[in-house]
Chain A
């Protein structure tokens, strides 16, 4: 365990020095001491390797030093002229935010609209069109010819104008979700502007497998409620007000043949308890001594839909919830958890099997440094839950960026997505100025890092909000939306944690379209790479007999006939039986999958 005392004092000394408060101020040491008291067994200190190359990286805006492991940086595309303020990286009006993907198109949302990049060569993204439509935060999704964008700021205009809206009540204001038709990419048209009471901080596209004519959008509003004079029916009352715009999400139904007719069709009270109390979940406050204070659950920050399993994961302020979305128009809550380490439930990501869900905690709101050496390892981190047969969630473990960041680097768990390696649960994730971190949570109780990229701070003097907002995997590459530096593109490289075959198997997954919050179910075709991936995993974990491994490797190397593939598969299946009977040691699950792949390969011949 590191010497907590020294590091805490240093951290808080800097904190005190950074403020400019006159008058009687308590000495920083005692704040540190008090914070120390709050560090408990449940909120342990961060542990890290002192030789981690991410420590001590030189600062800079476009010329910071960087450290990389398990990946290579293919491209670093700065923000286009006119979409950043060259005098400071801190101009929030131009922040890059979210990403969505379709074919060779990358859509990058920002606080002033969105960019469309051609990524037919992922190592050389080319800006095609910039769409101006201010109103933050620019959360984006794509579905066919439609781009959906969230807007919540009071400067947002119905007509996408840049001049803002001065009046506190105005018919010209737009806060909600915008829908653009981009079938003619050079002339994107706004076809719908669905207004909502709290605006849209994020949104989630949800599909109904039985209904190809409509698309649904869940609106997560976290912002101030509009006056009823501006949008009829909006009320900011408490849970006793049956019309309150708090304690709900909005469901928009979009007829795909006529998206202009998109409208809110439901405003479900997903936090209600059995007595009908709208505020049925976390009431706000801490969980006892030494615990974090969690925000009241009167909103969802973000929802990830996984229609493939009929569920959505809701990261909702003071709780993580599961929603049954088998009827997308009417989502119902089926499970909920709270956590004494969470300040603000922010995002959800499922593993591919749908039996594990990762929630992220945005302690500090994203603009604060929360990866300091003194910050607990379970605060501002990921919490990983198993979903049981009964559909309920149980905490398995936590994961936090395993290296401290400086006092001027805003850092906390943020948006990411699954990297589709067969046999493993791996998530690539943004940590703001903490960089990119790849988390392996195949063993949910023991998640660990397998690759990373990090730059030095934007500045060592000022706390600029920057770093990665989102990092997502799409068709073989990792794309990072860097708030003030642009777009970075990475490719994974083989390492002790990830073999060439595992990477190849992941890169072979090609999708027409990808939205991180509309999680796709991945299925791997039976190929040599997939078989090799399973073998590599068992070898790495020392869970296969040398002889059997050699035999399998020889067959995979030799381009074997279907007969020998099937005969090997039969041998492996016999192994599986023995393993399950306890007569043989080994990884029954992977062996069974491997056998199935071999049979699949045989069938293709």
Chain B
């Protein structure tokens, strides 16, 4: 059983938390407990290695990872991406003939709005603006976004053809988002921060599921 041996913690002053990242490996033997410098803080090593203790002055290292430019670009890029999705779902309300497509579009609308709010808050919290600099046609295409011509065609199509075109377009759109997530996780130092990690994962899971669902609907239409 675990033995409890309390080291009483005197009240310590708040320390600055915007610290540098720790670079030390945890291979040294455990240092003696810091002298009345705050609560006991221990960092276990890898299996088989011994732990090390932090003193309260080292507390600012606990924060660890931060976000990178790649994270910011990813988040910024998602906004126009989501905005286009909302333009597409708006068209569904006007033109779609299939109920399943309408239901799916409504759900997409709600979750995309929630995500835009989340992204905006994340950027604002970090003092970043929403605007992306120079998003060219290349990047547009990489992100799976529809070209102005594709959007025009979609808005002019009617009947079942509209539903089909919407689904195909949204699948392309979602695939772009998945590509952006893959790109993010392949970038050195990116997606380390917990909020980005979680958000990127959710985009991945949600959009993949929606792609599968949309493909299912398309298959049904083909019969």
Q: Mark B73-107, 1 if CB is under 8 A from A, else 0.
A: 00000000011001100100100000110111011
> Which residue in chain B gives the minimum CB-CB distance to A18?
B117
Bound CA–CA A136/B204 (angstroms): 18
Cβ of A462 within 8 Å of any chain B Cβ, yes or no, is: yes
Do B99 and A289 touch across chains, with their CB atoms under 8 A apart?
A: yes
The yes or no answer to B160 lying at the interface (CB within 8 A) is no
Asked whether B147 is an interface residue with its Cβ less than 8 Å from the other chain, the reply is no
A93 touches B64 (CB 8 A): yes
Given A159-B25, A284-B213, A136 and B194 touching (CB < 8 A)?
yes
Instruction: For the complex, give the distance between the alpha carbons of A34 and B94 in Å.
Output: 13
Assess the A188–B107 pair: CB atoms within 8 A. no
Assess the B44–A166 pair: CB atoms within 8 A.
no
Which of A103-111, A449-457, A548-556 lines the interface with chain B?
A103-111
Q: Which residues of B contact A155 (CB under 8 A)?
A: 64-65, 192-194, 197
Give the residues in chain B near A132, CB-CB below 8 Å: 41-43, 54, 62
| Contact status B209-A296, CB under 8 Å | yes
Q: Does B35 contact A (CB under 8 A)?
A: no
**What's the Cα separation between A284 and B104 when bound, in Å?**
12
Determine how close the nearest CB of chain B comes to the CB of A380; give it in whole angstroms. 13
- A159 & B49 in contact (Cβ 8 Å cutoff): yes
Choose one: A22, A25, A159; the contact of B46 (CB below 8 Å): A159
Q: Which residues of B contact A159 (CB under 8 A)?
A: 25-26, 45-46, 49
CB contacts (< 8 Å) of B59 on chain A: these are: 81-82
Q: Is the CB of A162 within 8 A of B21?
A: yes
The answer to whether B193 and A93 have CB atoms under 8 Å apart is yes
Nearest-CB distance from A104 to chain B (Å)? Answer: 6
- How far, in angstroms, from A183 to B1 measured CA to CA in the complex? 6
Q: Indicate whether B69 reaches chain A with its CB closer than 8 angstroms.
A: no
Closest residue on chain B to residue A172 by CB atoms: B46
The distance in angstroms between the C-alpha atoms of A167 and B188, with both chains bound, is 5
Please pick, from B44, B62, B99, B100, the residue contacting A180 in the complex, using a CB distance under 8 A.
Answer: B44
Which candidate, A84-92, A350-358, A432-440, A516-524, is the interface stretch facing chain B? A84-92
Residues of B within 8 A of A168 (CB): 185-188
- Contact status B38-A81, CB under 8 Å: yes
A233 to B47, CA, bound (A): 22
Say whether B62 contacts A82, CB under 8 Å: yes
A260 at the interface (CB under 8 A from B): yes
Nearest-CB distance from B206 to chain A (Å)?
9
Q: Is A295 an interface residue (CB 8 A)?
A: yes
Q: Is the beta-carbon distance between A162 and B116 smaller than 8 angstroms? A: no
Known interface pairs A128-B40, A167-B188, A189-B51; A83-B9 also in contact (CB < 8 Å)? no
A112 within 8 Å of B by Cβ? yes
Interface size for B (C-beta < 8 A) is 88
Beyond A83-B62, A130-B39, whether A19 also contacts B116 by CB under 8 A is: yes
Contact: B109 with A162, CB < 8 Å? no
Interchain CA distance A88-B125 in the complex, whole Å: 9
List the A residue with the shortest CB-CB distance to B217: A285
**Complex CA distance for A224 and B198, rounded to whole angstroms:** 10
* Chain B, 6-34, CB within 8 A of any chain A CB: 6-9, 12, 14-15, 17, 21-26, 30, 33
Query: A364 → chain B, closest Cβ, in Å?
Result: 8
In the complex, are the beta carbons of B33 and A186 less than 8 A apart? Answer: yes
Q: Which residues of A sit under 8 angstroms from B148, Cβ to Cβ?
A: none
| A453-467 interface bits toward B, Cβ cutoff 8 Å, 1 = contact, 0 = none | 000000000110000
| Complex: chain B residue closest to A292, CB-CB | B107
A295 touches B209 (CB 8 A): yes
B201 at the interface (CB under 8 A from A): yes
Interface residues as binary, A127-167 with B (CB distance below 8 Å gives 1, 0 otherwise): 11111111010000000110000000111001111111111
Cβ–Cβ < 8 Å partners of A462 in chain B: 121
Chain B residue nearest in CB terms to A318: B209
Q: Enumerate chain B residues within 8 angstroms of A161, measured Cβ to Cβ.
A: 22, 24-26, 43, 64
Question: Are the CB atoms of A19 and B113 closer together than 8 Å?
Answer: yes
Contact yes or no, A164 B65, CB < 8 A: yes
Q: CB within 8 A of B64: which of A112, A126, A131, A286?
A: A112
A336 CB → nearest B CB, Å: 19
Q: Answer yes or no: B120 CB below 8 A from chain A CBs.
A: yes
Contact partner, B44, options A19, A24, A128, A190, Cβ 8 Å: A190
Question: Is the CB–CB distance between A128 and B4 below 8 Å?
Answer: yes
Q: Does A41 count as interface, using CB distance less than 8 angstroms?
A: no
Q: Interface readout for B160-176 with A: 1 if CB under 8 Å, 0 if not?
A: 00000000000000000
With both chains docked as a complex, state the minimum distance between the C-beta of B32 and any C-beta of chain A, in angstroms: 11
Which residues of chain A have C-beta atoms less than 8 A from B107's C-beta?
A: 293
List, in ascending order, chain A residues with CB within 8 A of B5's CB.
128, 185-186
Point out which of B21, B43, B83 has the most chain A C-beta atoms below 10 A from its C-beta. B43
| Known A19-B117, A93-B63, A224-B185: A128·B49 in contact at CB below 8 Å | no
- How far is A16 from B109 in the complex, measured between Cα atoms in Å? 11
A1-51, CB < 8 A from B = 15-16, 18-26, 30-31, 34-35, 38
**A/B interface sample: 18 pairs, CB < 8 A:** A19-B116, A21-B82, A23-B83, A38-B106, A82-B62, A93-B65, A129-B41, A136-B194, A145-B2, A154-B192, A164-B64, A180-B44, A183-B1, A183-B2, A187-B42, A189-B45, A190-B47, A296-B212
Known contacts A20-B130, A93-B193, A463-B121; 12 further A-B pairs (Cβ under 8 A): A25-B86, A26-B109, A31-B106, A80-B9, A82-B56, A85-B17, A127-B9, A161-B43, A168-B186, A188-B44, A190-B51, A367-B118
